[in-house]
Amino acid sequence: MPRSLALVIFAGFQILDTAGPIAVFEIAERYRPGSYALSLQAPGGGDVASSSGVSMAAAPLGSGPLDTVMISGGDGTRALEDLSAVIAWLKTVRARRRTSVCSGAYMLAEAGLLDGRRCTTHWSRTDDFARRYPNVNLDADRIFVRDGDVWTSAGITAGIDLALALVEDDLGADVARRVAQQLVVHQRRPGGQSQFSALVDLGGRTGRFADLMDWMRAHLAEPLTVERLADRAAMSPRNFARAFTAETGTTPAKAVERLRLEAARTEVETGRAPIDQVAGLVGFGDPERMRRAFLRAFGQPPQALRRAARS
């Protein structure tokens, strides 16, 4: 019997929060027909305008029972009083799993479904979320979090990671891997991977360290100490470390490791250099040090990622 999934939208929803997971479940259904029955739902139903102005047609909120409820995020969550119908519905609808993408976590929290639980949401909303819901254990530095039958994810594209994790939970790792390949996305990022990695890539919230990040990418094989990075940024080491962490959400040392990991993964998956040589090329030096970093970030050693890329 197909698993019934209700994806809930509202005026001002973020369209990729919904379209990304829909694509994941659509492709999973191709590989395992009869697995999912999707419905797009909204208070009152009808055409619902996203924050981009593009509308999607939705059915009215149903009474269930459902296998999974997924709540979209978006700018509309900034006016929670306008979403009282969704919040009231969440309190009563029967479902095996309740999930959210991005700021959709606000509605789960308003419905009391996150009290005493771990969750995450978009990095730009974490300070506000923590103030509003002190009884929720917010884990801001995560792509997605599962706590029992409640799953939450970080910003926008992380909804794809969440949906792939749900597919893996339902249909197994092989189907989830094939879906990721079809969508041309990295094989599912572990939920524990930091959502602040995107801020590192961009040089921070304001792009203040964008030039420094470009320089770091070009010098990964060299020692990249805080002192050297601070000198490059024309700052004292102490002030640099503080400013960099505030801008990117992570420390300089973790940012360096992040850049080395991304460069190493590309070499491992697409290149032919021996693993030991890759470790030197990207600045890890010791292959064992690189292996431990891969396990922390990707849940697999370099050799496993190379085998998977060539299978």
Res 192: pLDDT: 46
Domain annotation covers residue 190: no
Q: How many CA atoms lie within 13 A of 15 on its CB side?
A: 11
- As a whole number of angstroms, the distance between CA 50 and CA 53 comes to 5
Region 277-283 average pLDDT: 95
Q: CA angle, corner 57, sides to 51 and 62, nearest 5?
A: 110
Same domain, 151 and 270: no
Domain annotation covers residue 189: no
Q: b/e map of 124-134 (b: 16 or more CB within 10 Å)? A: ebbeebeeebe
Range of the domain at 7: 3-183
Residue 94: count of CB within 10 angstroms of its CB = 9
- Between helix 302-310 and helix 252-270 the angle, nearest 10°, is 40
Same domain, 179 and 209: no
User: Which of 6, 102, 143, 158 is labelled catalytic?
Assistant: 102
Domain annotation covers residue 192: no
Residue 119 annotated to the active site: no
With 70 as the cut, is the pLDDT of residue 233 above it?
yes
Same domain, 219 and 171: no
Region 145-156 average pLDDT: 92
Same domain, 32 and 88: yes
What Cα–Cα distance (Å) separates residue 176 from each residue in 17, 115, 118, 185, 215?
Answer: 19, 30, 24, 11, 36
Domain annotation covers residue 191: no
Report pLDDT digits (tens) over 20-38. Answer: 999 999 999 999 999 999 9
CATH number for the domain harbouring residue 204? 1.10.10.60
With 90 as the cut, is the pLDDT of residue 306 above it?
no
With 70 as the cut, is the pLDDT of residue 91 above it?
yes
Same domain, 137 and 26: yes
Same domain, 117 and 239: no
Res 191: pLDDT: 43
- As a whole number of angstroms, the distance between CA 190 and CA 173 comes to 12
Same domain, 74 and 119: yes
CATH number for the domain harbouring residue 169? 3.40.50.880
Cis peptide before 65 (omega within 30 of 0): yes
Q: b/e map of 40-73 (b: 16 or more CB within 10 Å)? A: bbbbeeeebbbeeeeebebeebeeeebbbbbbbb
Q: Which of 115, 149, 183 marks a domain boundary?
A: 183
- Predicted TM-score of the model (pTM): 0.71
Domain annotation covers residue 112: yes
Same domain, 305 and 208: yes
Q: 124 with 105: CB under 8 angstroms?
A: no
Res 156: pLDDT: 84
Q: 229 with 248: CB under 8 angstroms?
A: no
Among the residue ranges 3-7, 97-101, 161-165, 204-208, the one predicted with the least confidence is: 204-208
Query: How many domains in the chain?
Result: 2
Same domain, 164 and 210: no
Share the mean pLDDT of the chain.
91
Same domain, 253 and 165: no
